[in-house]
C-alpha cells in the first residue's frame, strides 16, 4: 500500500507554523483597523470570468496558473489566484457603490499552479487591503504607510526595500505601449517565447521578463517615464512627496510593471534578498479601471497584498502569550478529581492553563517547563484539606501555599 501524501505544492500548517501565521495575520488585522479598514471575506472560487476579465487573458495568472474547472452544472469556476478581483466582484454584486469610499482588509488561501519553491506554494496564503473610491494620491501614500508600519511590526523594514514606479494614466500607458512595440517588433525573433507572445497582447510585461536575453535587448528600449503626460507626472510626484513626509525610504524602479493587467499610476513592491528568487514580500498599486472592466461603475482603487508564507519565513516572531501560563497538577493523585475544577476557575478569569495529567510528579514538572508555563498550581492532599493550593513560580523557584482567590489575584496581575 502506497503512503498517503499531501498534494505537491501544498503543505500542512502544524501548530508552531500555524501560530506564526496567526501572529502575522493578527498584526496585519490590528494595523488595518487603525487605518479604518473593515474585514471582508469572499468565496474561495468564483465564476472564471471574474478572474479572466480582471487579470487579463494574457497574464501568467490566467494563461498558465489558474485552477479552472467545470462544476456539475457546467459552469466554469476558478479557485481564486489573488484577492483583489473577488473584492471588486463583491463590490459590484452587493451594490456597494452608494457607500463609497470604502476600505477593505482580507486574509485567506489562494491557488496557483506554479512550480513549487522556497516561499511559493500552489496553495498559499495572502492578506491584503483595498481602498475603493479614492482618487487622490494621498490614498496611495496611506496604503503604503500601512504596509510600512505592518512590516515594521514584524521587524522587517530594515531587511526589505520599497521599490516604486508609475505606469501613468491610460493615455500615457497607451503612448508608451506604442513606442515599446515599435522598438521591439524588429527584435521579435530574438525575444524569449513568452515575450514574443506578450509583444502581441501585453508588451509591458516584457519589461518584467526574467530572461537574460530579453533584459539585454531592453537596454536600448524607450523609458516609460518619457511617455508620461503632465497629470501622470503630477500624481506620481504627490505620492513621492507623501513618502518623504512620512520618512518612508524608497528606490525608483522604472522596470517595475507588476504581473496583472489592471494596474495604472502607482505600482510598488517591498522586496528582500532573504528568499532567493522569490524576492517580493508585499506588492500592490493603483487599479482605477478594474471595477469598470468587470461591468461595474467607474471606481478608482488602490491596495496591496502580502504573501503570508513568505513573511513567515523571514519575520521576527515570538508567540504572544499571557505572562501567566499555568500548569495544574496533583502532587500525589489525591487532587486529580479537583484539577478540572481549578482549571475552570482560572480560565474563567482569562488565565491560560493546562492540566498536566498522567505520569509521575517529576515528569509533570518537566512537561510544564516544556510547554513554557510560567507557574504550576500543585494540588496536594495536605493543602487541599486546608483549602489551599501550592503555587510555584518556575522562573524564580519560589513556592507558596495560597487560597484559590489569592492565586487568581497573583496570576491576574501578571496577565
Tens digits of per-residue pLDDT, 255-296? 888 656 668 999 999 998 776 655 889 999 999 989 998 999
CATH number for region 325-414: 3.40.50.800
* Distance in Å from the first CA to the final CA of the chain: 51
* CB neighbourhood size of 12 (10 A): 7
Mean pLDDT of 89-108: 97
* DSSP summary character for residue 3: P
Taking the C-alpha atoms of residue 16 and residue 24, their distance in angstroms, rounded to an integer, is: 13
- Residue 233 CB partners (closer than 8 Å, separation 6+): none
Mean pLDDT of 149-160: 92
Residues carrying CATH 3.30.930.10, the chain = 15-169+229-314
Where are the alpha helices (H) located in 211-356, listed in sequence order? 212-217, 230-245, 290-293, 308-314, 339-347
- Residue 123 CB partners (closer than 8 Å, separation 6+): 9, 10, 11, 109, 110, 111
Q: What is the pLDDT of residues 324-366, one digit of tens each?
A: 677 777 766 655 677 888 888 888 888 888 888 777 888 888 8
Question: What is the model's pTM?
Answer: 0.83
pLDDT band at 412 (very low <50, low <70, confident <90, very high): confident
Phi, psi (rounded to 5 degrees) for 378: -105, 125
State whether the Cα torsion 363-364-365-370 is positive or negative. positive
pLDDT band at 369 (very low <50, low <70, confident <90, very high): confident
Residues carrying CATH 3.40.50.800, the chain = 325-414
> What is the pLDDT, as a whole number, of residue 267?
95
Q: Interior CA angle at 148 toward 147 and 153, to 5°? A: 100
CATH class of the 15-169+229-314 domain in this structure: alpha beta
> What is the pLDDT, as a whole number, of residue 57?
56
Do the beta carbons of residue 326 and residue 353 sit within 8 Å? yes
Chain-centroid distance of CA 359 in Å reads 42
Helix (H, G, I), strand (E, B) or coil at 188: helix
**Residue 264's closest CA among 145, 177, 142?**
177
Do the beta carbons of residue 325 and residue 373 sit within 8 Å? yes
Amino acid at each position: 500500500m502506497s503512503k498517503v501524501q499531501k498534494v505537491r505544492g501544498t503543505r500542512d500548517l502544524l501548530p508552531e507554523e500555524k501560530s506564526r501565521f496567526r501572529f502575522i495575520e493578527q498584526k496585519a488585522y490590528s494595523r488595518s483597523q487603525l487605518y479604518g479598514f473593515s474585514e471582508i471575506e469572499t468565496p474561495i472560487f468564483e465564476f472564471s470570468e471574474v478572474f479572466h476579465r480582471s487579470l487579463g487573458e494574457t497574464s501568467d495568472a490566467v494563461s498558465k496558473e489558474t485552477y479552472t474547472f467545470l462544476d456539475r452544472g457546467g459552469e466554469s469556476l476558478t479557485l481564486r489566484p489573488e484577492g483583489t478581483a473577488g473584492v471588486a466582484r463583491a463590490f459590484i454584486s452587493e451594490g456597494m457603490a452608494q457607500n463609497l469610499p470604502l476600505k477593505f482588509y482580507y486574509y485567506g488561501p489562494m491557488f496557483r499552479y506554479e512550480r513549487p519553491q522556497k516561499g511559493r506554494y500552489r496553495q498559499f496564503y495572502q492578506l491584503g487591503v483595498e481602498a475603493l473610491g479614492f482618487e487622490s494620491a494621498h490614498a496611495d501614500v496611506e496604503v503604503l504607510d500601512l504596509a510600512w508600519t505592518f512590516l515594521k511590526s514584524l521587524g522587517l523594514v530594515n531587511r526589505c526595500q520599497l521599490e516604486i514606479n508609475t505606469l501613468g494614466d491610460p493615455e500615457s500607458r497607451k503612448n508608451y505601449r506604442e513606442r515599446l512595440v515599435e522598438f521591439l517588433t524588429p527584435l521579435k525573433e530574438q525575444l524569449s517565447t513568452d515575450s514574443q507572445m506578450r509583444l502581441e497582447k501585453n508588451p509591458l510585461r516584457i519589461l518584467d521578463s526574467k530572461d537574460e536575453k530579453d533584459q539585454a535587448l531592453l537596454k536600448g528600449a524607450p523609458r516609460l517615464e518619457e511617455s508620461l503626460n503632465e497629470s501622470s507626472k503630477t500624481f506620481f510626484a504627490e505620492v513621492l512627496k507623501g513618502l518623504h513626509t512620512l520618512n518612508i525610504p524608497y528606490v525608483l524602479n522604472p522596470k517595475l510593471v507588476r504581473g496583472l493587467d489592471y494596474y495604472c499610476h502607482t505600482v510598488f513592491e517591498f522586496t528582500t534578498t532573504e528568499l532567493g528568487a522569490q524576492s517580493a514580500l508585499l506588492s500592490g498599486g493603483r487599479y482605477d479601471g478594474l471595477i469598470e472592466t468587470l461591468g461595474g461603475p467607474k471606481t478608482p482603487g488602490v491596495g496591496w497584498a502580502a504573501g503570508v508564507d513568505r513573511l513567515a519565513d523571514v519575520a521576527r516572531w515570538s508567540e504572544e502569550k499571557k505572562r501567566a501560563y499555568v500548569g495544574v497538577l496533583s502532587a500525589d493523585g489525591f487532587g486529580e478529581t479537583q484539577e478540572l475544577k481549578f482549571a475552570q476557575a482560572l480560565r474563567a478569569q482569562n488565565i491560560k492553563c493546562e492540566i498536566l495529567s498522567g505520569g509521575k510528579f517529576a515528569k509533570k514538572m518537566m512537561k510544564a517547563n516544556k510547554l513554557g508555563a510560567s507557574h504550576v498550581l500543585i494540588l496536594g492532599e495536605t493543602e487541599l484539606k486546608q483549602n489551599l493550593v501550592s503555587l510555584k513560580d518556575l522562573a524564580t523557584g519560589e513556592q507558596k501555599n495560597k487560597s484559590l482567590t489569592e492565586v487568581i489575584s497573583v496570576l491576574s496581575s501578571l496577565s
